[in-house]
Structures are given as structure tokens and as C-alpha cells.
């Protein structure tokens, strides 16, 4: 329960910050362009907190459902406007002003992402060096010449200091159907270039885990079999396991490390395990029965609801720190935001034409889990999570879907071309289409969330 509450709290904080940033963009530009703002609301539904709103001031509202927000401006489409206030109405503004106000929300999301990345780059981002662990025999990567111990230094001339960099560059090139030219240093410090051809690109796009599809596993630091966190109500919790327990043996077999323990549990769904653990200097015997969980590839596997204890940072041999000075970080943060924005847009396009799996769409449950995980790791990881979600909000809101900011911007473009606003009938039809599209997207997102929880 504590884990769930932590995830929900992190999710509410993250969404609250990003919605505030987005709506503040609309609010700030509207005020600067002389439009009267009646209400600035974070959340929907019943107001929890409200202030202002007296003598024509803006009313500020914090509402019960933290999944959105809005800025209500004076507008003749929303109700009768006193004649003396007509110049302050949104609908009376020139089209360039309306365009600026509507586009300001997504723009502020991108600005926030740039600031988040700038802060991360100045502080320094610690990650894992892209060192290859096991490379499956006869896999795509193996046939290309990649071997265990290789260090990936660049892909298609883009440097890849961390595994995160490897993934982003891979995705970017895969979506353009480009071959992957991977420059590596082997165990003997010899430089090689290995190429993965374009013939595998469609297969890669439809897989949730590109590295696994290639047959690659990152080299992980050795992790002793020590429990980090226990999920309340899970098999480990029912067996009496505690955070900090060091696992010594299972059914008489010595547990060498965490990977050995995971493999042991996965092979025993529903079977009783006699477990010996060390806790606070003493030895205890526990009886553990892993729950049965369905895996799309491995079938039924054992699952106990426990995670490994992770050290504060990876060992020096696997650690990579990405850091820039304050001025250099500005340019790097702009480039990072641009790259992820383009990548997000490309991925959406590939999903639309069926070249990428819609399983990549996530809903609030998955986002809440990621929020909690990133927040538990540290401020830098939480900032990275906020930046990515902020970029996603910016990109999605610019799509020409009615009800979203991009839909309104599309209407304004039509107005510019034809010299008059779109008819009320056309706009109403667009709204119905927009509702249908958003309902479909939300249904897919919730389905994916539930499927991930079940599996």
C-alpha cells in the first residue's frame, strides 16, 4: 500500500506541475495580449480551494480531479459579454493573438523540458556505460558481430555515453528505416564498426524492448541477493520477508546473486520454497510460495512482489556521468528537447500507419508507476521523467485533433486561408470527431495499463 500511495503522490505532483506549466502559458500570454481571464483552474470537478475573483479579478481554483486544468477567458461564445468589456473578449482578438494564446500552452511545456534538462546537465546525469552483457547466439546482434564486453561508443556518428543515449539513437534511426552502424571497443580496446541492416527495422518497431529483440543484454553490476522493497500483500510479504534480508539458500541450494534468485523464483510458480535468509545478524527459515504470473514469451512464471536492493550509484567501471557547464548546457538541453519531440512525433506517426505497436501507448496507471519509480531513485531521475512527460504533453496538444490546442490552431489556419471563421456546424462536427479520437486513445491506454498489471 505504501508503494501505491507513493506512486499516486508522485503522479499527482508531476501532473500538477506540468498542467500548471501548460495552463500558465495560456494565462500569461492572454494577460499580456489584453484578454480578460475569468478563471485559472488546476484540476476538474469540485473546487477544493479558490481565491481571487473579486472586482473582476481572475479567480484561481484548485479542483478535486488532478487530471487536467483550464483557463477560462472572457468570450462571447461562452456567454453574454458587457459592451464595455468586448475589447477584452478572446473571440474579438486578431487571429495572431488567438494563435499565440492557444499555442502558448504547448510552448511552455517545451520550455519547461528545456529548463529541466538544463538543470540535469548542470548537476550531472549518472548513468550506465553501454557495455554489452550477454549477446544471444544467432541473434541479430550476434550475426552483426557484437560480442559480450563490447562498449558502444557511437551509433551512426552520434556519441552514446550511456544506455539511455543508445536507446534514443536506436529509436531515432529505426523509425527512419536506417541501418545502425555501431562503433564499439572490444575487451582488448580494439575499435570495430558493426552494422545492423534495415531488413530488421519493422520487427524492431513492433517490439516493446528493442535490445531484447536484437539479442542484447546490458552488462549489469553484480547485485547480491538482498531485498530492497516488499510489495504489501504479495507472496514475499505473506512469507514474512523484510527489506534488507540477505538470501542465503533456497531448498538447500546456495543463492549466488540476485539474478540466480530471480531465475529460481521464475521457474517455480505456485511451488513451495524453503528459504534461508540472514536478517540483522541472525539466520531465519521462511516458507515462500511464488504467485503465478503469465509472461507472453515464457508462459507461467513465479512472482513474489519483491525488488533488489540497489546501491546509490553503479560501480566506477560501469558509471558514466554526463555533465556540462551552465552555458553549454543551454544548447544541449534545447537539442535534447528537440530530439525527443521529433522522436515522439515519429513514433506517433508510425503507430498511425501500423509500423509501430500501439502497446507503446501508456495511460495514467503506467505513468503513475514511472513517476513513483523515478521519484524513489532521486531528483535527477524525477526531472528526467517530468521532462519527457512535458514534451509528450506539448507534442500531443499540438496534434490537429479538435478539443486539443492543435485542433484550435488548425481552425485558425483554415480561417486565415478562407478569410473567415469555420462554420459552427463544422466546428461541432470536429468536436464530435475529437471526442471519438480521444476516447479511442484513452481506451487503448487503459487497456495497455491493465494488460501490464495482469502480465
Residues with a known catalytic role:
23
Neighbouring CB atoms inside 10 A of 329's CB total 20
Residue located via cell numbers 545492423: 196
Q: Which is nearest to 235 in space by CA: 294, 298, 286?
A: 286
DSSP 19-64: HHHHHHHHHHHHHHTTPPEEEEEEEEEEEEEEEE-GGGPPEEEEEE
Compute the half-sphere exposure of residue 395: CA atoms within 13 Å on the CB side of its CA: 20
Q: Which is nearest to 141 in space by CA: 200, 202, 208, 207?
A: 200
> CA Rg, the chain, in Å?
26
How far is it, in rounded angstroms, from Cα 193 to Cα 180?
10
DSSP 140-171: HHHHHT--TT-EEEEETTEE--SHHHHHHHHH
The helix/strand/coil state of 12 is helix
Strand-strand pairing, 299-303 and 306-308: unpaired
Contact of 196 with 144, CB cutoff 8 Å? yes
Contact of 180 with 216, CB cutoff 8 Å? no
How far is it, in rounded angstroms, from Cα 306 to Cα 291?
12
Q: Which is nearest to 162 in space by CA: 147, 148, 152, 172?
A: 152
Amino acid at each position: 500500500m505504501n508503494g501505491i500511495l507513493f506512486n499516486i503522490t508522485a503522479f499527482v505532483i508531476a501532473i500538477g506541475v506540468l498542467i500548471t506549466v501548460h495552463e500558465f502559458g495560456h494565462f500569461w500570454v492572454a494577460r499580456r495580449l489584453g484578454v480578460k481571464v475569468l478563471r485559472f483552474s488546476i484540476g476538474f470537478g469540485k473546487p477544493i480551494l479558490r481565491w481571487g475573483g473579486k472586482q473582476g479579478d481572475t479567480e484561481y481554483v484548485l479542483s478535486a480531479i488532478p487530471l487536467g486544468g483550464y483557463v477560462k477567458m472572457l468570450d462571447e461564445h461562452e456567454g453574454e459579454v458587457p459592451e464595455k468589456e468586448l475589447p477584452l473578449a478572446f473571440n474579438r482578438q486578431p487571429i495572431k493573438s488567438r494563435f499565440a494564446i492557444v499555442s502558448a500552452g504547448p510552448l511552455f511545456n517545451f520550455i519547461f523540458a528545456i529548463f529541466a534538462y538544463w538543470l540535469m546537465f548542470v548537476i550531472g546525469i549518472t548513468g550506465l556505460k553501454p557495455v554489452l552483457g550477454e549477446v544471444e547466439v544467432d541473434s541479430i546482434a550476434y550475426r552483426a558481430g557484437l560480442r559480450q564486453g563490447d562498449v558502444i561508443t557511437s551509433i551512426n556518428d552520434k556519441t552514446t555515453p550511456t544506455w539511455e543515449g543508445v536507446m534514443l539513437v536506436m529509436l531515432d534511426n529505426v523509425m527512419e528505416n536506417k541501418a545502425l552502424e555501431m562503433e564499439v571497443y572490444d575487451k582488448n580496446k580494439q575499435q570495430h564498426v558493426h552494422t545492423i541492416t534495415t531488413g530488421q527495422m519493422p520487427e524492431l518497431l513492433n517490439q516493446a524492448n528493442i535490445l531484447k529483440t536484437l539479442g542484447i543484454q546490458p552488462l549489469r553490476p553484480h547485485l547480491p541477493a538482498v531485498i530492497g522493497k516488499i510489495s504489501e500483500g504479495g507472496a514475499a510479504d505473506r512469507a514474512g520477508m523484510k527489506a534488507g534480508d540477505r538470501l542465503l539458500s533456497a531448498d538447500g541450494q546456495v543463492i549466488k546473486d540476485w539474478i540466480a534468485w530471480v531465475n529460481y523464483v521464475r521457474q517455480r510458480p505456485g511451488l513451495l520454497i524453503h528459504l534461508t535468509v540472514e536478517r540483522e545478524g541472525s539466520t531465519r527459515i521462511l516458507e515462500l510460495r511464488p504467485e503465478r504470473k503469465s509472461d507472453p514469451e515464457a508462459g507461467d512464471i513465479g512472482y513474489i512482489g519483491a525488488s533488489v536492493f540497489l546501491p546509490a550509484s553503479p560501480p566506477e567501471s560501469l558509471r558514466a556521468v554526463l555533465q556540462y557547464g551552465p552555458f553549454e548546457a543551454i544548447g544541449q538541453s534545447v537539442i535534447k528537447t528537440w530530439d525527443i519531440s521529433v522522436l515522439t512525433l515519429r513514433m506517433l506517426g508510425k503507430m498511425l500507419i501500423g509500423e509501430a505497436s500501439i502497446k507503446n501507448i501508456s495511460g495514467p496507471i503506467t505513468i503513475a508507476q514511472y513517476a513513483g519509480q523515478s521519484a524513489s531513485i532521486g531528483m535527477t531521475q524525477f526531472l528526467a521523467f517530468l521532462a519527457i512527460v512535458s514534451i509528450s504533453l506539448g507534442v500531443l496538444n499540438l496534434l490537429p485533433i479538435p478539443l486539443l490546442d492543435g485542433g484550435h490552431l488548425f481552425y485558425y489556419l483554415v480561417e486565415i486561408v478562407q478569410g473567415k471563421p469555420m462554420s459552427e456546424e463544422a466546428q461541432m462536427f470536429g468536436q464530435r470527431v475529437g471526442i471519438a479520437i480521444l476516447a479511442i486513445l484513452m481506451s487503448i491506454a487503459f487497456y495497455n495499463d491493465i494488460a501490464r498489471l495482469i502480465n
